[in-house]
Amino acid sequence: MSAGREIPVILRASELRVATDAVRAQGGSVGLVPTMGYLHEGHQSLVTRSANENDLTVVSIFVNPLQFAEGEDYGTYPRDLDRDRQMCTEAGAGLVFAPPTEEMYPQTPITTVAVQGLNAVLEGRFRPTHFDGVSTVVAKLFAMLGPGRAYFGEKDYQQLAIIRRMAADLSLPVEVVGCPTFREADGLAMSSRNVYLTAEERPVATVLWRSLQAGRDAVAGGSRDPGEVEAVMAAVLAAEPKASPDYAAVVHADTLERPDVLAGELRLLVAARLGRARLIDNIGVDCDRL
């Protein structure tokens, strides 16, 4: 791809399959970065990794109505395809797949994908239909892509765990690759929804990162009681009057189940509301390496 040349945007699944089949026919590999658009540097880091590891990188941009409940921000979710296209070009993508809603859902879907158990905890308690919408649209994207790799950020860790299990259970020919969370200089995890933060709320939003650090420090200091570590994280969140915490949790990294005693690879996860924004964050902790 020549410098300064913007990559093509395609709208149809048939065009996507023609493009990816052509690469595979020549022995090449294909990577996919699924997004809902309004990209940031975290998305770009996923695109760059895919571009480094594959002959063609596709970035899908689709605000999926199935993963929004009534009253959520589907209608106001930030969108800017021209800006997204430029960011994809800069990061090394080969094309953008930006289907209209009628292309992804030609008729109201009566078939959905649900990853039972993993979809009901943590975020699932607050957004009970969300992950079925995510897994359904990702399954469709994987089917449209064909064999390849798909790249997801660890910032949405529960989503990553669900997609990994879905791909394994359904024998989908796509390798799911998790990538580290991309953060601002002060630790705030990058998210398209950060745009909702006001100037006063933006510095406060680091409370999620600070709560995770406090939880990690508690584990590193020898605590093996999940309730104790959760209480440490929750206390940091509760100390910020502008934040309204939803949860502070410690779970097994693979199963997302809360352990009786902390051991092995864990994930610490928090969620809180700040004004219009609802933010989530997480970090990994390996008890065997502390």
What's the mean pLDDT in 146-158?
98
Report the distance separating Cα 69 and Cα 173, nearest Å. 30
Question: What is the pLDDT confidence band of residue 147, given thresholds at 50, 70 and 90?
Answer: very high
Per-residue tokens: 227: 């309730």
Question: What is the pLDDT confidence band of residue 165, given thresholds at 50, 70 and 90?
Answer: very high
pLDDT beyond 60 at 2: no
Residues 6+ apart with CB under 8 A from 56: 19, 20, 23, 28, 29, 30, 31, 94, 95
Taking only the tens place, the pLDDT of each residue in 82-99 is: 999 999 999 999 999 999
DSSP state of 6: P
269 closest CA partner among 156, 116, 164: 156
Mean pLDDT of the chain: 96
Residues 6+ apart with CB under 8 A from 5: 89
pLDDT beyond 60 at 126: yes
**Sign of torsion over alpha carbons 36, 40, 46, 47:** positive
Taking only the tens place, the pLDDT of each residue in 22-38 is: 999 999 999 999 999 99
pLDDT reported for residue 290: 83
Taking only the tens place, the pLDDT of each residue in 53-89 is: 999 999 999 999 999 999 999 999 999 999 999 999 9
Question: What is the pLDDT confidence band of residue 1, given thresholds at 50, 70 and 90?
Answer: very low
Domains and CATH numbers, the chain: 9-179 (3.40.50.620), 192-289 (3.30.1300.10)
pLDDT reported for residue 6: 87
> Which residue numbers are catalytic?
43
Taking only the tens place, the pLDDT of each residue in 238-264 is: 999 999 999 999 999 999 999 999 999
pTM: 0.95
pLDDT reported for residue 190: 96
